[in-house]
DNA sequence: CGTGCCAGGTGCCTT
DNA sequence: AAGGCACTTGGCACG
């Protein structure tokens, strides 16, 4: 149990020192901004980090009920509550946390964040594919990624053995509608720029039935593959071309 | 500073009691599952909630660096570290947090989580529109909300004064490419089912340039609208039909 | 700064 | 269980 005066002092010190601050207590929360919300009174945890990002957590789920980044945080006593406010402009947003009882305050001096190293990202898969496309299809050669097309417009651009431009979209998860529409869009753009028929290949471990239908409708191609997350590198185990059979058309 | 023995006891009790548990200390983190990652030694906060969702937080950003839900959590002493593990099957995932120093442990008995009341969601906006489509367009009558199709769910289905079926897609923020393809999909579905020309209307506060182009290409319509997020109800302030002008074609 | 796009997305709801 | 989708999506990279 903290008096609001004590609490306020602790909190302001922690924020000033860019410490990891935790406040636990009975509170009511109001948010207004991109949307609006009210959280009825209850016991919750308020977490304020050194970069001023703050979050209200209940005792369930990963995501906080309320949160804000890059906010200006202030703390004041108001009537019978300790009010913590986070405000920001652009977009204009505000959170107000009314603490009616403060059960605990903890703050920790943290060291500068060590970065997470991630393997098995889509990017890495794309890089891995780029190294050797021959196992996708005989005679497929990657073109330089930068060149005429803006970077990021497609995962990979290659040339097949007949000289056709091939746009390749890589998804490391089950491909859905948006993967197909994205590929279609890329292929169309490339076609427009080069003025020649362009193939579009979607490479993914799986594809949703509906997405598959759309893909075939667009005349795009699909390759499935298996991959194994390895350390330190992603290993692609096998690729299999999936072409619609006659029966699938009926 | 906690001895690993003490720490372990505290932690196990808190987990058993479904309390909100916080452990602060110097740790090394490994994740293996949908991707793979390693966090070098550093001071971090581990949060374990009553529903067994757990997260490793650094002193910046809203999102935790590592996290897991519905995991089986265990705690053991190993060599010179206190190891907290979260494991789950389907998909097979695991996080291991190796604490080399435990600075603090806090646990809190929390009450059952209260529901956040959110205003200004897409659903609420759709509800508001559903009530009265007339200020969208004269003689427009709502038929059905949340119409499920084989390939998705349309926000609203209506009928215009000439008896045409109108599919309406509502977006609470700037509409992008995917909003247009989504609408197009639903409109096509309805057209196919009913065998008559179907109008598609996108209602959003703004629309991205290329999305707008695609929309017009598809022969769909766009209405911009303003809304005021309020409590207890979000109000739609105005709807305006946006048709391409002659100059826009040049 | 906006635009585009991935994410170990999360969470919710429906079939 | 899987699909489909909104989300105050968050976060990052690029123009």
**Chain A residues touching residue B45 (CB < 8 angstroms):** 20, 108, 110
**pLDDT range class, residue A119, cuts 50, 70, 90:** confident
What pLDDT score does A246 carry? 30
- Phi, psi for residue B57 in degrees, rounded to 5: -110, 135
Residues A66 and A131 in one domain: no
A136 and A207 assigned to the same domain: yes
In the numeric block, the tokens 């008995």 are attached to: B109
Task: Indicate whether B245 belongs to any domain.
Answer: yes
- Vertex A51 angle, CA A50 and A56, to 5°: 80
Please state, in angstroms and rounded to a whole number, the distance separating the CA atoms of residues B122 and B119. 9
Range of the structural domain that residue A142 is part of: 122-249
Of B35, B60, B115, Cβ closest to residue A120: B35
Domain match, A93 and A160 both: no
Does some domain include residue A114?
no
The larger pLDDT score, comparing residue A7 to residue A118, is at A7
| CA atoms within a 13 Å half-sphere pointing along the CA-CB vector of B246 | 0
Instruction: Say whether the peptide bond before residue B91 is cis (omega within 30 degrees of 0).
Output: yes
Give how many domains chain B has, as a whole number. 2
Residue that terminates a domain, selected from B108, B139, B173: B108
Q: Is the pTM of this model over 0.75?
A: yes
Q: How distant, in Å, are the alpha carbons of A5, A76, A243 from that of A105? A: 13, 16, 61
Q: Which residues of A97-134 are buried (b: 16+ CB within 10 A; e: fewer)?
A: bbbebbeebbbbebeebbeeeebbeeebbbbebeeebe
Q: How far is the CA of A46 from the C1' of D7 (A)?
A: 21
Query: Quick one: A75 and A137 in the same domain?
Result: no
Mean pLDDT of chain B: 91
Alpha carbons B207 and B174: distance in angstroms, whole number = 5
Integer angstrom CA distances of residue B201 from A111, A128, B30, B150, B157: 52, 42, 48, 20, 10
Rounded distance, CA B101 to CA B89, Å?
A: 29
Does a structural domain hold residue B113? no
Please list the alpha-helical segments (H only) found in chain B.
4-16, 122-131, 177-194, 209-218, 246-249
Whether B194 is covered by a domain: the verdict is yes
* Residue B233 CA, distance from chain mean position: 21
Cβ–Cβ of B50/A43 closer than 8 Å?
no
pLDDT classification of A235: cutoffs 50, 70, 90: low
**The predicted structure's pLDDT at residue A44:** 98
Candidates A35, A41, A45; nearest CB to B229: A35
What's B230's domain CATH number?
3.40.1350.10
Residue predicted with more confidence, B117 or A228: B117
Same domain, yes or no: A182 and A103? no
Task: For residues A22 and A49, give the distance between their C-alpha atoms in angstroms, rounded to a whole number.
Answer: 9
Supply the pLDDT for residue B131: 87
Strand order, beta sheet including A235-242: A141-142, A156-159, A165-170, A198-204, A221-228, A235-242
| Residue pair A72/B154 in contact by the 8 Å Cβ criterion | no
Measure the CA–CA gap between B99 and A123, rounded to whole angstroms: 31
Please tell me whether residues A179 and A206 are part of one structural domain.
yes
Mean pLDDT rounded to a whole number for chain A: 85
A242: in domain: yes
Give the closest nucleotide to A31 (alpha carbon vs C1').
Answer: D8
pLDDT higher than threshold 60 for residue B245:
no
Specify whether A79 is located in the same domain as A146: no
pLDDT bin (cut points 50, 70, 90) of residue A237 is low
DSSP string, B159-223: E-TTS-EEEEEE-SS-B-HHHHHHHHHHHHHHHHHH-S-EEEEEEES-B-HHHHHHHHHHT-EEE
Per-residue pLDDT, averaged over B221-231, amounts to 91
CB proximity B86 to A under 8 Å: no
A9 φ, ψ to 5°?
Answer: -65, -45
Domain end point (choices B108, B133, B149): B108
How many Å does it take to go from CA A154 to C1' C4?
A: 12
Task: Enter the tokens of residue A5.
Answer: 């005066």
Output the pLDDT for position A154. 66
Question: Looking at residue A87, which CATH number applies to its domain?
Answer: 2.70.180.20
Interchain pair B119, A18: CB under 8 A: no
A179-208 mean pLDDT: 86
For residue A153, the model assigns a pLDDT of 55
Is B115 inside a domain boundary? no
Average pLDDT over residues B111-127: 94
Q: Does A17 touch chain B (CB under 8 A)?
A: no
B101 in a domain, yes or no? yes
pLDDT tens string B37-77: 889 999 999 999 999 999 999 999 999 999 999 999 999 99
pLDDT given for residue B249 in this prediction: 42
Higher pLDDT, residue A195 or A24: A24
Min Cα separation B133/chain A (Å): 22
Determine, yes or no, domain membership for A115.
no
> What integer pLDDT is reported at residue A34 of this predicted model?
96
Chain A partners within 8 Å of B217 (Cβ): none
Q: Are B65 and A60 in contact (CB under 8 A)?
A: no
B175, B208 contact by CB (below 8 A):
yes
Is the domain of A138 the same as that of A203? yes
Q: What is the pLDDT of residues A129-143, one digit of tens each?
A: 777 777 788 888 887
- Are residue A140 and residue A222 in the same domain, yes or no? yes
Parallel, antiparallel, or unpaired: how do β-strands A221-228 and A198-204 relate? parallel
Mean pLDDT of A143-171: 72
In this structure, chain B runs to a length of: 250
Within 13 Å, how many C-alpha atoms sit on residue B186's CB side?
28
Residue B64, CA: closest nucleotide via C1'?
D10
pLDDT tens for each residue of B75-84: 999 989 999 9
In this structure, of A12-26, A234-248, B129-143, the range with the lowest mean pLDDT score is A234-248
Partner residue facing B45 (CB), from A20, A51, A177: A20
- In the structure, how far is the CA atom of residue A18 from the C1' atom of nucleotide C13, in angstroms? 40
CA of A208 to C1' of C5 (A): 20
Is the distance from CB of A26 to CB of A39 less than 8 angstroms? no
Q: Higher confidence at residue A228 or residue B160?
A: B160
Q: How far apart are CA A213 and CA A19, in angstroms?
A: 53
Q: Of A58, A74, A108, which residue sits at a domain end?
A: A108
Q: What is the pLDDT of residue A146?
A: 40
Pair A126, A245 in one domain: yes
Residues 104-133, chain B: which have Cβ within 8 Å of A?
Answer: 104, 106, 108, 110-111, 113-121
Same domain, B188 and B101: no
* Same domain (yes/no): B78, B147: no
Q: Would the CB atoms of A43 and B110 count as touching at under 8 Å?
A: yes
């Amino acid at each position: 149990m903290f008096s609001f005066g004590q609490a306020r002092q602790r909190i302001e010190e922690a924020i000033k020192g860019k410490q990891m601050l935790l406040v636990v207590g009975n509170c009511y929360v109001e948010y207004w901004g991109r949307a609006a919300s009210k959280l009825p009174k209850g016991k919750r945890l308020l977490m304020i980090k050194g970069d001023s990002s703050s979050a209200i957590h209940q005792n369930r789920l990963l995501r906080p009920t309320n949160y804000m980044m890059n906010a200006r945080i202030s703390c004041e006593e108001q009537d019978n509550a300790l009010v913590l406010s986070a405000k920001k402009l652009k977009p204009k947003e505000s959170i107000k946390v009314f603490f009616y009882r403060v059960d605990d305050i903890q703050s920790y001096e943290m060291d500068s964040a060590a970065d997470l190293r991630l393997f098995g990202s889509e990017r890495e898969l794309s890089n891995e594919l780029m190294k050797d496309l021959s196992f996708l299809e005989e005679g497929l050669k990657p073109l330089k990624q930068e060149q005429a097309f803006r970077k990021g417009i497609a995962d990979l651009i290659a040339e097949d053995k007949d000289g056709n431009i091939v746009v390749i979209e890589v998804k490391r998860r089950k491909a859905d509608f948006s993967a197909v529409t994205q590929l279609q869009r890329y292929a169309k753009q490339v076609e427009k720029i080069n003025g020649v028929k362009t193939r579009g290949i979607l490479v993914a471990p799986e594809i949703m039935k509906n997405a598959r239908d759309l893909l075939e409708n667009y005349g795009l191609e699909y390759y499935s593959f298996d991959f194994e997350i390895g350390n330190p590198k992603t290993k692609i185990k096998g690729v299999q071309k999936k072409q619609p059979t006659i029966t699938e058309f009926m």
